[in-house]
Amino acid sequence: MYYNAAKLMHIFGLITWLGPSTGGYLLFLLARYEKESGTVIWIFDKYINLVYLEGLGLLILLLSGYMMRDAEPELRHAHWLKRKLLIVFLIFVPFELAHLYLYNFIVKEVFFKGIGITETLLFYDKLAIAATFALLVAVPAVFWLSIFRPRSLVRD
């Protein structure tokens, strides 16, 4: 029972991590493309809530991974799971921490001061582009590993 509830929370965390922040950033990019500076500033100001929600989603994902304590021993030692966790801790977590740090300590300060906004947004975009390319490879890889649990990667 605990395992199934944790698995449900894991899926909820995944949706919470990938959905809101991605959608908010796409709105932000569209507003910038349309050159609506007032809208850009308003969206970016509200975007912080989505950044926090994204961080909470990843935290739920990581904590719900504790479901493995009730999993069968064969599952806990599977190679596919070890590879999935490697991707999570080498790609997802560092990008999320960089995103939270950059937004909280650089972007918010620049927006409050009103100086250096363009340069900061260009820097923020570089992180977003790097994360996009990394996640375009990593997310499907994690999905593939989680769904198909390749037999060649099942046992030690």
pLDDT in tens, 107-132: 778 877 878 878 887 888 888 889 88
Q: pLDDT tier at 83 (50, 70, 90 boundaries)?
A: very high
Which residue range(s) make up the domain with 148?
2-153
Contact predicate 2/70, CB 8 Å:
yes
Whole-number Å distance between alpha carbons of 32 and 118: 11
Query: Cβ-count burial of 56 within 10 angstroms (0-12 exposed, 13-18 middle, 19+ buried)?
Result: middle
Give the pLDDT of residue 120.
83
Mean pLDDT of the chain: 84
pLDDT per position as a tens digit, 3-54: 888 889 999 999 999 888 788 878 878 877 777 777 777 777 777 788 889 8
pTM, full prediction? 0.79
Give the pLDDT of residue 154.
52
What average pLDDT does range 137-144 have in this prediction? 94
Give the pLDDT of residue 156.
46
Q: Total structural domains in the chain?
A: 1
Whole-number Å distance between alpha carbons of 156 and 152: 10
In three-state form (DSSP H/G/I as H, E/B as E, the rest C), the secondary structure along 89-137 is: HHHHHHHHHHHHHHHHHHHHHHHHHCCCHHHHHHHHHHHHHHHHHHHHH
